[in-house]
Amino acid sequence: MEKEIVFGILVLAIFLFSWGKLRHDLVAIICLLLLVITGLIPADESFNGFAHPAVITVAMILVVSHGLAKSGLIEWLAKLLMEKNFPFTVQLAILCGMVCIASAFMNNVGALAMTMPLAIHIANKNGESPSSYLMPISFASLLGGMTTLIGTPPNIIISTFMAEQSGEKFSMFDFAPVGVGLAIVGLLFIVLIGWRLVPKRASNEDEKNKFKIDDYITEVQIVEDSKLIDEPHRSIHQFTKGNIQVLNIIRGGQMTYAPGRNFVFRENDVITIQGDPDDIKSFIDDSKTSLVGKEKETGEDVKPENITLVEAVVMSNANIINTTAAQLYLSYRYGINLLAISRQNQKISKRIDHVKFQVGDVLLVQGDQDKVDEAIERMGCLPLADRKLNLGQPKKILLSVGIFTLSLALIISGLLPVQIAFTIAALLMVIFKIFPIRELYKSIDWPVIILLGALLPLGTALETSGGASWIAEQLLTFKDSMPAWTILALVLIITMFLSDVINNAATVVLMAPIALNIASGMQVNIEPFLMAVAVGGSCAFLTPIGHQSNTLVMGPGGYKFTDYLRLGAPLEIILILVGIPLILLFWPL
């Protein structure tokens, strides 16, 4: 009966992960509670997963990755690329190579996030579509992650399964013989052939004018008989029904930017409003205001030079996800105006302050040049346009690289386990002020930590209930009619498929016990099967939902869901064909 219950929870988990309506960490918590309620896990052991070394390691690596990012190391390395007029393929190769190498030693989403603005800048500068760059560098970040122990959470999880089974962990570079080979093959395919399979969703000129601001930003003047005279700003909603946003108010040659709710309108005020053309017309009619024609230059004359427009993409850990600009009081709390949202290359202008933000949305915001970057960071977004590259301070770069190298040395020498070494590295980065201590907890992707801590017990329950062995037995029915390497390939393919629809860490937690039971049933070494699961867990190339990197580039690249198949499917086939021989070469059965 226990096995059936575990299978039921497992099917529910896969369904909820694939459905995508609930966050991955919430799905993991639901599964954990079901395991406790059904008695498969004792209540006093329910949260033991959060003390698991893999969970601590992932958290500390995220902190150290943040330190490397804040030092300006990647931007400093990218300066050469911006100054040189390399051909497209050379630029793409450098970008992909840079992301791939960075992802081997830091969080791959962080490595991608640092490189995205640079890629978009280069695309616009060269008249190329950003879509030609963004999917390739996203895939490069996944390829880089599979090359080292700390490159991606699946490798860390696999190492812990290895230790629990055999008493020996995979070391820092045990993944490199297979991972580096696959990364090189994958990068060669992407740079030489694969980028041609990615559709160019927008030309350079289209990208610059993506939001078509003039179509729905208008100036109106409060004339003598207007209903807005002597009314506070908050009263404007009776004329707009929430469909119009006030961006600024011009009075006597002075502009009030992001006016407060109690600001009182006066005759002859010029109001800059934003909304759908039909809503703007209704507002003008109802409020008895007058449209300021383009021939008038009132707004242009007083527009402050330090007011700027910035594009920013909503990151996976943004604190504005599933909330709206209206709920956040964006203008009042952050001091910026939301002008437009682009989602999967679709312009959203109807009541945009009531649209819930999603991962990968590209926001066009207006704000004071001195404050807008801070506001975007507080929101958890990444600026894409008009970004001032942080070229870093040499002292910080040397310190961060030195601290990181020290932690690697402690791990490779065997003096300290990985979770302790990186905890020391995180502490040193704070002590030496690589980043301020207030950013310590912000740098951790807490949904991933919750996901791991809550889902690890499901992997344990799958093993202890006999569920993993039952699945393994079904696959082992083919062992007499098929060579052993085909069973290994089957494990790799199944893991790849799961990682395309559910979180890669969750995939590895579920597949590792099955792989171990298959190896045991075949009476062969466990290393090649665990390595196949690790590789498969990093190969989420078919969909935008399998990995955060893919989701992150979807909006800025203007990709459709099916676009990932065009490059991802041949890439996964190549990695399977190359991966199985490489695994068997370095980790024989």
Kindly report, residue by residue over 428-454, the tens digit of the pLDDT: 999 998 888 878 887 888 888 898 888
pTM as predicted: 0.73
pLDDT per residue as tens digits for the range 83-104 = 667 888 998 999 999 899 989 9
Q: Is the pLDDT of residue 217 over 80?
A: no
How far apart are alpha carbons 306 and 364 in whole angstroms? Answer: 16
More confident site: 311 or 583:
583
Residue 381 parent element (H or E)? strand 381-383
pLDDT band at 82 (very low <50, low <70, confident <90, very high): low
Question: Which tokens go with 58?
Answer: 């992932």
In which band, very low, low, confident or very high, does the pLDDT at 219 lie, cut at 50, 70 and 90? confident
Give mean pLDDT, residues 366-385: 80
Angle between helices 504-522 and 484-501 (to 10 degrees): 160
Tokens read off for 253: 């040659």
| The predicted structure's pLDDT at residue 297 | 41
Q: Is the pLDDT of residue 298 over 50?
A: no
pLDDT, position 576: 96
Residue scoring higher pLDDT (555 or 112): 112
Mean pLDDT, the chain, rounded, equals 83
Higher pLDDT, 449 or 121: 449
Between 28 and 392, the higher pLDDT residue: 28
pLDDT digits over 490-513, tens only?
Answer: 999 999 998 988 888 889 998 999
255 strand-pairing partners: 250
Higher pLDDT among residues 332 and 211, named by residue: 332
Phi-psi region of 302 (alpha: psi -120 to 50; beta: other; left: phi over 0): alpha
Residue (of 286, 469, 258, 459) closest to 365 by Cα position: 258
Tens of pLDDT along 137-160?
Answer: 999 999 999 999 999 999 999 999
**pLDDT at residue 205, rounded to an integer:** 41
pLDDT of residue 75: 65
Looking at per-residue pLDDT, the higher value among 500 and 276 belongs to: 500
Phi, psi of 301 (to 5 degrees): -65, -30
User: Percent of the chain beyond pLDDT 90?
Assistant: 29
Average pLDDT of span 371-391? 70
SS (H, E, C) 93-160: HHHHHHHHHHHHHCCHHHHHHHHHHHHHHHHHHHCCCCHHHHHHHHHHHHHHHCCCCCCCHHHHHHHH
The helix or strand, by DSSP H or E, that contains position 32, with its residue range, turns out to be: helix 24-37
Q: In whole angstroms, what separates CA 443 from the centre of its chain?
A: 13
Between 362 and 141, the more confident residue is 141
Mean pLDDT in residue range 314-332: 85
pLDDT of res. 240: 66
Mean pLDDT, residues 574-581 taken together: 97
Residue 78, pLDDT score? 63
Task: Please report which confidence band the pLDDT of residue 16 belongs to, taking 50, 70 and 90 as the band edges.
Answer: confident
Determine the pLDDT at residue 350. 54
pLDDT of residue 110: 77
Assess whether pLDDT exceeds 90 at residue 186. Answer: yes
Name the pLDDT band for 488 (thresholds 50, 70, 90).
very high
Q: Which helix (H) or strand (E) holds 88?
A: helix 88-105
pLDDT, position 37: 94
Q: Specify the pLDDT at position 214.
A: 47
- Top mean pLDDT of 90-99, 455-464, 516-525, 576-585 is at 576-585
Give the three-class secondary structure for 251: strand
Q: What is the mean pLDDT of residues 250-261?
A: 78
Cα separation values, 254 from 84, 140, 236, 271, Å: 43, 49, 21, 12
Look at residue 107 in the predicted model and tell me its pLDDT. Answer: 80
